[in-house]
Every structure is written in C-alpha cells, then in structure tokens.
Amino acid sequence: MSENPGKETPQAHLPNRRQLRVKAMQACYAAIAGESKPQEAFGHLLLDTHKKLVAAGSQNPEHLDDAQFLKDLFYGTMEHKDAYEALVAQKLEKWDIHRTALIDRILILMGIFELLNFAEVPVKVSINEYIEIAKGYSTDKSAVFVNGVLDAIQKELRAENKIRKVGRGLIENP
C-alpha cells in the first residue's frame, strides 16, 4: 500500500509520445498562424509539459527523453519549416502548398523532421502517428493526404540515404 493513498503521482498525468506530437502540432500552429515567435509559442503551450517531464525524469529517465523529444520536435520543425515546405511543394503537382490545410502541412513538416532526426523511431511508426493525428485534428481526407506525401518523401529521403535509423529492429529494408 502506498504512503499517500488517493494522492496521485506527478507521473500519473504525463503525456505519451502521441500526445506530445499533438502538443507540438498545436504550438507550431500557434506560431505559424499567429505569426508569433517559436519561443513564445513554446512558452505558452509547451513549457509546463516540458517542466513536468523534466521533473519526472528524476524517477524515470524515459521522461527526460520525452521532454527532449517535445522540445526538439517543435523547435526543429519550426527551424526547418521553409526547407521542408520546399520539399513538400515538389510533391504537390499543380497545387500550391499554401492552399493545403495548415494542420496537414504542419503534420507533414513534423513528420519530415521526425524521419530525419529521431533515429530511434521507425519510419512506419512516424508516418502512422501523423496519419492518426490527422484523422483526429483535420479533414476527412487529410489522413490519406498526409500518408501519401510523407510516404513519397520518405522514399526520396531513403534513396538519398538521408534517413538513418539505429537500434535493434530499426534497420529496415525500403
């Protein structure tokens, strides 16, 4: 029996990786649509979660990994936004990238960042996560759109040897 029955541990309400992706998407949306600085969006929408994860990291180091994941995903996506949008624009035949739903665009940009920068997350997991988030936060056709664009981009990035996955079971055949 615990020393404090009924008292919740700080870890009880910590977000999982999908929830962290959603929070990062919301902060990217706030920064892009609200034309605010990334630091402001992080401070308003992500800082409390980041602090909770860091604090919980003293009991479970995985929470420190999650805190870094959240921070890197948000800031990395924002830092490479223009370059990734140019990559996406190449895949959109006869369609202006800025005519796509902003949420879809953000999810694709985040997916590209994750594919390129999180060596421990399998390609299929990254793509599936953004498909699932699109289903819950965008239009009826968004999941298919996000899947198609991310799949085309990951094939190109693999062909250019830009996606490097490490760890047991993560080295995949294209």
pLDDT digits (tens, 9 = 90+) for 100-157: 999 999 999 999 999 999 999 999 999 999 999 999 999 989 999 999 999 999 999 9
The structure's pTM equals 0.89
Give the model's confidence band at 172: pLDDT under 50 very low, under 70 low, under 90 confident, else very high: low
Distances (CA, A) of 49 to 21, 32, 42, 105, 109: 12, 20, 10, 24, 22
Query: Domain segments of the chain: what residues?
Result: 16-79, 80-162
Number of helices followed by number of strands (H, E) in the chain: 8, 0
Residues above pLDDT 90, as percent of the chain: 80
37: tokens are 């600085």
pLDDT value of position 170: 57
CATH fold, domain 80-162, is N-utilizing Substance Protein B Homolog; Chain A (1.10.940)
User: What are the DSSP E strand ranges found in the chain?
Assistant: none
pLDDT value of position 118: 96
Instruction: Tell me if 52 sits within 8 A of 20, measured CB to CB.
Output: no
